[in-house]
């Protein structure tokens, strides 16, 4: 069965929401670059990506909600897609549930077992 970019995104989000760290990490190509939502530096090695998600997944009640209407998949070449949109990270800090709206972009190679080549996520700044 052929997976679409949206299938990959929803499966990755499902893994995060279920606390399946290894499942979420299995989507990242060994040469993937992650520009994370909650860190200030680029992560380009599997162990750096794992460390980031281990710390993030330790957050109480962690989940992601996808804003479906914002998702755009753009074919780049053959099995390569750019995928972007908005999702909301949620987790508790000191017992208070907080929401962090973020925009994301992925570069996916659907021909790869681990299709995420690039993942950028940044909090949406407050507007005036």
- The fold adopted by the segment(s) 5-123 is Nuclear Transport Factor 2; Chain: A, (3.10.450)
The per-residue pLDDT for range 39-91, each reduced to its tens digit, is 999 999 999 999 999 999 999 999 999 999 999 999 999 999 999 999 999 99
pLDDT at 126: 79
DSSP class of 128:
-
Torsion angle of C-alpha atoms 107, 10, 121, 71, degrees rounded to 10 = 80
DSSP codes, 54-102: HHHHTSEEEEEEEEEEEEEEEEEETTEEEEEEEEEEEEEETTEEEEEEE
List the structure tokens of 81. Answer: 């897609």
């Amino acid at each position: 069965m052929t997976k679409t970019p949206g299938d990959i995104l929803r499966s990755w989000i499902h893994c995060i929401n279920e606390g399946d760290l290894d499942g979420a990490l299995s989507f990242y190509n060994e040469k993937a670059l992650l520009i994370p939502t909650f860190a200030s530096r680029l992560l380009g090695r599997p162990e750096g990506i794992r460390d980031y998600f281990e710390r993030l997944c330790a957050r109480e009640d962690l989940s992601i909600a996808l804003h479906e209407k914002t998702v755009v998949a753009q074919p780049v070449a053959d099995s390569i897609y750019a995928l972007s949109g908005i999702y909301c990270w949620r987790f508790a800090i000191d017992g208070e549930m907080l929401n962090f709206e973020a925009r994301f972009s992925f570069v996916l190679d659907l021909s790869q077992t681990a299709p995420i080549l690039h993942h950028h996520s940044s909090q949406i700044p407050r507007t005036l």
